[in-house]
Structure 1
Amino acid sequence: MNTRHFETDLGHVDADLTLHMQRVLPGPVERVWRYLVEPDLRRQWLGGGDSPAGLDQEFELIWRNDELTNPPGERPPGFSEEFRMQCTVLEFAPPHRLAFTWSNTGAVRFELKPQGEHVLLSLTHERLADPARVLMVGPGWHAHLDLLRDRVSGGSSPAFWPTWQALRERYTARLQATA
């Protein structure tokens, strides 16, 4: 199978346009799980909205990326101040697995595995429509997961939008190099 591998910190994209990423976070796994499902914690690194609480439940994610860091940096053209998405829970196994639909085009899965005092977070984003979508989603997940790492560890974060833009350039270069 032809697999496109990005640098390790960028994750990798399979030939079927499934994005895979991992981060090692400070534990315990229950604390990291709370950052996935509790809206007040989740909006610190990804988006607020509803709390997914069970299989087949519908919930809304609300992104306000300008509020993730202070300052946020300049928002790139094509992005709005707020973005909302309806999701349906596909898998719910606290505190280890959460999967949900991603708009009408795919699914996102988080897996949490304890590793001593740390937690290995694995993210899989399935069925990305095309390379252009990879170049939106890849840098987004990368930036958001780095924010999660910073929030869970109590560290500071660089401005969100310049970080996303720099990551997009790295993803673009890497995708072109592996085409």
Structure 2
Amino acid sequence: MSEYGTLVDNHTVRFERLLPGPIERVWKYLTDAELRGLWFAAGPMEPRVGGKMDIVFDNSNIGPHPSAPPERFRKYAGPFDSKHVVTIWEPPHRLGFTWDEDMDPKGSVVEIELTEQGDKVRLVLTHRRVSGVSDAINFSGGWHTHLAMLAEQLEGNPKTPFWEAFDGIEDEYRKRYSEK
């Protein structure tokens, strides 16, 4: 398992992480709006297939202290939200949701699978139907950073502000994905 995501094909990225368990705790960090807001994005989620999911990002306030975004992300300095639909709801093992802002299930989708491995939990996040390698690089930088924030939360050691952790990660994915 690599600390980096992989480009499965030009329209799919996948991440694997081994996280502290138990699985029910990790599931709660995926589905509880307040806990999800500590590492990814807050917002209500209807716990059922077809349920509405509001994703409210506030990346500047994820981590132990606020941080400012790089210049090209200045418009994301404060909270912003987008609307999604739950496509998979199988607690505590599988969660899926649309990614496109128009909530179209035929658009980009995210699936998260959790599997117990002793006292750890293997998380596999797959983001499918992205529009191409450029989007794959963008999504990979974001998911890479958010999953690092999740690991820090689950370990009880949130030490890195989001934008500091994000800085330079897209360049790393650009290099990795251009080698394919």
Compute the TM-score of the two structures, normalised by the length of structure 1.
0.90
Gaps of 5+ in 1: 1-6
Q: CA RMSD in A?
A: 1.5
Alpha carbons 2:41, 2:55 under 8 Å: kept: yes
Residue 150 (structure 1) aligns with: 152
Say yes or no: does 1:93 pair with 2:94.
no
Tell me, yes or no, if the aligned pair for 1:37 and 1:52 is still in contact at 8 Å. no
The match for 1:114 is 116
Aligned to 2:168: 166
Q: Deviations over 1:47-98 (max 9, x none)?
A: 0011241111112110000010243433022342223111111110001000
Describe the SS at the equivalent of 2:56. strand
**Residue range with higher mean Cα deviation, 102-111 or 75-84:** 75-84
Greater CA drift, 48-57 or 33-42: 48-57
Q: Which amino acid aligns with 1:82?
A: P
Q: 1:132 deviation in Å?
A: 1.7
Residues of 2 paired with 1:124 and 1:17: CA distance? 11
Offset at residue 134 of structure 1 (A):
1.3
TM-score normalised according to structure 2 size: 0.89
Matched AA of 2:65: P
Aligned-partner residue type, residue 102 of structure 1:
W
Count of aligned pairs = 172
Pick one of 40, 62, 75 that aligns with 1:46.
40
1:98 maps to amino acid: L
Equivalent residue, structure 2, for 1:4: none
Distance in 1 (CA, whole Å) between partners of 2:175 and 2:159 is 24
Distance 1:176 1:13 in 2: 10
